[in-house]
Structure 1
Amino acid sequence: MGDPSSSTSWSSQKETEDDRMIALMLSEEYTKLDGAVGRRLSNLAPVPHVPRINTYIPNLNDATLDHQRLLQRLNVYGLCELKVSGDGNCQFRALSDQLYRSSEYHKQVRREVVKQLKDNRSMYESYVPMKYKRYYKRMAKLGEWGDHITLQAAADNFAAKICLLTSFRDTCFIEIIPQYQAPKREIWLSFWSEVHYNSLYDIQAAPDQQKPKRKHWLF
């Protein structure tokens, strides 16, 4: 009789390979720069990005004010969010939606970002205030919040300019540029600062969406 664990492992590997193939096919459809969101924000000067881990989570009052500020900015620039679940994977879900037009490939995105971190230690280690192996192993866990280092790794891995419309009082717009190659695409995210990421669209081109499950205490 065959080992049932081997069968389960093979099935899981097959599903992962199928997901990777589907994601690759979808990605190829969206490699051209859309530009619609960028045109709306063309008058904003981006702030240089500094990779860092998450160190501060705002209290409820500050988070509420930040969220109101972000909503005002979205309204001013004619943008809207495709909201993703607040389950600890929101950064990877938002990246997945921008890359593949579905947030459901967030596990694949996380794996690729962690591989980028693992294989290119010299590019990121100086930003990590802990043992580097411990950091990327922690980041590999489903539900672990992405940070500004994983955003840089995503920009590098996907050859993408990642643009954040933020709720920071003094920093409206942040650009994250690939370190050693020219960007081949743009990724637009909203960033409710240190709380939540969503995928960002021109309001006239926003896709239909189902309401995400609310799993975080702030939303």
Structure 2
Amino acid sequence: MRNGAISNDGCSSSTSISSQQDVEDDKMIALVLSEEYAQLDGAVGRRLSSLAPVRHLPRINLHFPSISDSSLDYQRLLQRLNLYGLYEVKVSGDGNCQFRALSDQIYRSPEYHKHVRKEVVKQLKDNHVVYEAYVPMKFKHYYKKMAKSGEWGDHVTLQAAADKFAAKICLLTSFRDTCFIEIVPQHEVPARELWLSFWSEVHYNSLYELQDAPPLQQQQKPRRKHWLF
């Protein structure tokens, strides 16, 4: 079935009901888990207290590193993780990695990435005046593109996530001259911290202290073709 065509076997109706139930289940689970993990931990932040964060500027990336540069960037990121005693929960490199990493930080599971993406897109759509100046295209086209699964997140969606979830989002990066970036809510005091590693222009993962890392995590290496955050 393509292009929204309705089949004659009644499956369209049942699929719609099932989809609606999934949405309601996601909302309920997200609410419970968000309340459970909303307390500000700050453990990772204490390890990086000596670093001065760089001010975040929402933007869409238009430059991608070469293979050799990206390999050097990854080694630099690994060195920083080792230096500060931090652990990456590696999420799938399927184009949803930013939202999976945010989901892992908020709900302790990357599997709620669809819910996170939906909330971020709603934030963009409902507050277009705040974000549209950072987007070099028609804003409606931009947020509709971002609503699609597999569409790579960028620094604009990070700002929208910080605003939506009242969170300070902290990135330990692979940039040569920028180790630590903070994204803070624009209109309220953050209620939590979300820590991500950022292999620049390639991949995001979720970040923990070694002793706080989940015991069993499937390690998945990002596929290079999904280059954009």
**TM-score, length of structure 2 as denominator length:** 0.92
- 5+ residue gaps, structure 2, are 1-7
Counterpart residue type for residue 185 of structure 2:
P
Once the two structures are superposed, residues 6-54 of structure 1 have per-residue CA deviations (whole angstroms, 9 ceiling, x without a partner) of: 2210111001111221121011100001111000001110000000012
Instruction: State whether residues 163 and 186 of structure 1, in contact with CA within 8 Å, keep that contact through their aligned partners in structure 2.
Output: yes
CA–CA distance in structure 2, aligned partners of residues 5 and 103 of structure 1: 29
CA RMSD of aligned residues (A): 1.6
Query: Which of 119, 122, 145 is residue 126 of structure 2 equivalent to?
Result: 119
Q: Does 1:199 align with 2:228?
A: no
CA–CA distance in structure 2, aligned partners of residues 212 and 218 of structure 1: 18
Instruction: State whether residues 125 and 132 of structure 1, in contact with CA within 8 Å, keep that contact through their aligned partners in structure 2.
Output: yes
Once the two structures are superposed, residues 114-167 of structure 1 have per-residue CA deviations (whole angstroms, 9 ceiling, x without a partner) of: 000000001100000011001111111100100000000000000000000000
Counterpart residue type for residue 139 of structure 1:
M
CA–CA distance in structure 2, aligned partners of residues 147 and 215 of structure 1: 16
Once the two structures are superposed, residues 65-123 of structure 1 have per-residue CA deviations (whole angstroms, 9 ceiling, x without a partner) of: 00000000011111110000000000000000000000000000000000000000011
- 5+ residue gaps, structure 1, are none
Counterpart residue type for residue 78 of structure 2:
L
CA–CA distance in structure 2, aligned partners of residues 162 and 213 of structure 1: 23
Counterpart residue type for residue 33 of structure 2:
L
**TM-score, length of structure 1 as denominator length:** 0.96
- 1:174 partner SS: strand
Shift of 1:58: 1.2
Once the two structures are superposed, residues 169-218 of structure 1 have per-residue CA deviations (whole angstroms, 9 ceiling, x without a partner) of: 00000000000011000000000011000000011211123324445137
Instruction: State whether residues 60 and 154 of structure 2, in contact with CA within 8 Å, keep that contact through their aligned partners in structure 1.
Output: yes
Counterpart residue type for residue 171 of structure 1:
T
Counterpart residue type for residue 15 of structure 1:
D
Q: Identity across aligned pairs (percent)? A: 72
Task: Say how many residue pairs are matched.
Answer: 219
